[in-house]
Structure 1
Amino acid sequence: MAADSRTPRSGATDVALGERIRRRRRELGLSQSALGGKLGITFQQVQKYENGANRVSASMLVKLSDALALPVMQLLHDIDPAAPPADPESDAARLLAAFGKIRSPEMRAALLTLVQGLVSR
């Protein structure tokens, strides 16, 4: 069988999901090895997912969601325009929890000013 007649193992959706996984992993400050450890896979497999070389199974998507502390729908939302938007109540709860951890009153005030400025746009 000629190489060009084979069905590709991955496509644009796989690449987009991989980019989302990489972006979230980096946001959390995790190495590929650390994420792989949480998932029970090698860093090479994480690398293949991130590059879109291998497709992410449904069960692995659930594991990734847990490991990356991001709902499955939010992982998929960036790559699937038909996916429902992230839950605003969940986002608000996460934002409030993070805001409560900011110790500096000046930083809290600056963040509040920023958010209020964004709302007025």
Structure 2
Amino acid sequence: MLSINSETTRRKPNSVDAHVGRRIRQRRLWQNMSQATLADAIGVTFQQVQKYEKGVNRVGAGRLQQISKALKVQPCYFFEDTPDKNQSDGQSAANQTEIPPEVVEFAASEEGIELIKAFSRVGDNDVRRRIVMLLKSLSAHEW
């Protein structure tokens, strides 16, 4: 009789799992929600939320549905901009721009989210342009 070891049948997280985890973190931060609050909403520990966000643990379909409800998005939100096979083969998908990892990382940080929220509330395009010029000028200096 063939015995199946549960470790060998368990699938390890992959790049899509890591992407979903990053999207969970981005949305949670955008909602100003702590890991503990999300954990309470979906019935897990905050450590489990950390593992989901880091891509260490896979998020099952039912759990993803709970997370999407708690974060007020559709489940498909977590799969937006998922790297596809064509991109991993070096071919770029149509209408998609390569975003450097450091930009994605900054946009997911607390500072990045605060900056994006504040900037998006500026309604005047001329003021927005001037803000960008100011930031470019500041970044040119050695601080």
Instruction: With the length of structure 2 as denominator, give the TM-score of the two structures.
Output: 0.52
Query: 1:32 matched to which residue of 2?
Result: 35
Shift of 1:76: 1.4
Shift of 1:8: 5.5
What is the alpha-carbon distance in structure 2 between the residues aligned to residue 77 and residue 53 of structure 1? Answer: 20
What is the alpha-carbon distance in structure 2 between the residues aligned to residue 72 and residue 81 of structure 1? Answer: 18
Q: Of residues 52, 68, 71 in structure 2, which corresponds to 1:68?
A: 71
Aligned residues: 84
Which runs of structure 1 show a deviation greater than 3 angstroms over 4 or more consecutive aligned residues?
none
Shift of 1:78: 2.8
Q: How does 1:98-117 map to 2 (within 5 A)?
A: 110-111=122-123, 113-114=124-125
Q: Name the aligned partner's letter for residue 41 of structure 2.
A: K
Q: Encode CA deviations 1:69-104: one digit per residue, 9 max, x unaligned.
A: 11111221132669xxxxxxxxxxxxxxxxxxxxxx
Query: 1:59 matched to which residue of 2?
Result: 62
Q: Name the aligned partner's letter for residue 12 of structure 2.
A: R
* 1:9/1:81 CA distance change after superposition, 3 Å: closer
Structure with greater Cα Rg: 2
* Mapped contact 2:52–2:59 kept (Cα < 8 A): yes
CA RMSD in angstroms, aligned pairs only: 2.5
What is the alpha-carbon distance in structure 1 between the residues aligned to residue 66 and residue 84 of structure 2? Answer: 22
Q: Of residues 41, 46, 52 in structure 1, which corresponds to 2:49?
A: 46
Q: How does 1:77-88 map to 2 (within 5 A)?
A: 77-79=80-82
Q: Of residues 15, 18, 23 in structure 2, which corresponds to 1:15?
A: 18
Q: Name the aligned partner's letter for residue 39 of structure 1.
A: I
